[in-house]
A = this chain, B = another copy of it.
Amino acid sequence: MAKIVMKFGGTSVGDVNRIRNVARIVKSEVDNGHQVAVVVSAMAGETNKLVGWTKELSPLHDAREYDTIVAAGEQITAGLLAVALSAIGVSARSWLGWQIPIRTSNMHGSARILGVETKLLNERLAQGQVAVIAGFQGIADDNRVTTLGRGGSDTSAVAIAAALHAERCDIYTDVDGVYTTDPRVVSKAQRLDRVSFEEMLELASLGAKVLQTRSVELAMLHRVPVRVLSAFDEDPGGTLLCDEDDIVEKNPVTGIAYSRDEAKITLLRVPDQPGVAAAIFGPLADAGVNVDMIVQNVSEDGRKTDLTFTVNRSELDRALSAIQNASPHIGYKDLIHDANVAKVSIIGIGMRTHAGIAQTMFRTLSEKGINIQVISTSEIKVSVLIAEEYVELAVRALHSVYGLDAK
């Protein structure tokens, strides 16, 4: 007998029939003799509807009221799943964030979990009662409901699994696991049986939308074994997120991620002197713009240089106006930008021990006539910025050259 946490996303609980289906999946784990805590998202579409109403009333709404409104979505699903479980003979009780309580920071709209009280939960679990927990929500020290940001139910599930010392945390979703790349782009993409926390963190940050990044960080920090699996298929498949040490065969490259949410900004003929980076990136930070890749050309005359960086495409306008407002302090000749760019990344813990991985990437793209605009690397990934129109071509070529294509 083990303690396990199961999490079901919005499409898995999208209507009454799907909630019944989830109840059956939960029942099978109860029948296996496990103590089960289930974390649920809002029914698909519900959060968007509530967010839509809120924004319609006020684009600059109070984040505390936003949280009160949208948290109702998960509340409804939690109650409905408890009803569905009772209907098939499984003892169940719903729990809202404030009832457990799940304590969070008071950063409304994107709060961080500070702690999960487990005393009451453990008592009920020990009595054989399934705890159906509203994901995505908690309570701040001012007694107000908080939410964790979009996709936050993944984080709720991992945090609860960590607090309960659960044997594992199963994230049920509409795909049957983590793939070597997006199967919609590469039909030969393969499901990974295992992926290390570090790799998953890079995959999630770099564009794979299976899990919220924060949930992977938490899982890595607390060493919670997380499985990603399908709520819809007879064979749920599954990818296990685990320690690097638990992966025997370390491929040089485990996965290829891509993101179209990119835009590139270049400042031409910036003074090549100390303090200019601060003059540029300070105003961007103040405007809440996240800068990703940065490259600075070698200056020819030692006095002027070109500087290129990328931002999230949705933040491009904000970034441009921040730069323009600060132009007297920066001093550039011209400001150009390009939103038709995309980032393609290769990720793998094997990179640490295999040489020439990046070189293979550059050569492969070059052979396809794809120009690399910016490069950034870390210990286990290489990202390149390319023209958006080449994304599929690049991903397919890289998938093939690193031996990831299914036989």
Contact = CB atoms under 8 A, between A and B. Distances in A.
Nearest to A71: B75
Contact of A79 (B66, B78, B143): B66
Copies in the complex: 2
A65 B79 contact: yes
Contacts of A329: none
A69 B86 CA distance: 15
A69 B75 contact: yes
Contacts of A65: 79-80, 82-83, 86, 93-94
Interface in A39-83: 50, 53-54, 56-58, 60-62, 64-66, 68-69, 71-73, 75-76, 78-80, 82-83
B68 A72 contact: no
Contact of A75 (B20, B62, B75): B75
Q: How large is the interface on A (under 10, 10 to 19, 20 to 34, 35 or more residues)?
A: 35 or more
Given A20-B57, A56-B16, A68-B94, A62 B83 contact: yes
Nearest to A62: B86
B82 A62 contact: yes
Contacts of A57: 16, 19-20, 80, 83-84, 87
Interface in A1-49: 16, 19-20
Contact of A76 (B50, B79, B99): B50
The 6 closest A-B pairs by CB, nearest first: A69-B79, A58-B87, A72-B72, A68-B79, A65-B79, A61-B83
30 contacts: A16-B57, A20-B57, A50-B76, A53-B80, A54-B79, A57-B80, A57-B84, A57-B87, A58-B83, A58-B84, A58-B86, A60-B87, A62-B82, A62-B86, A65-B79, A65-B80, A65-B86, A65-B94, A68-B78, A68-B82, A68-B96, A69-B76, A69-B80, A69-B83, A72-B72, A72-B75, A72-B76, A72-B79, A75-B75, A98-B98
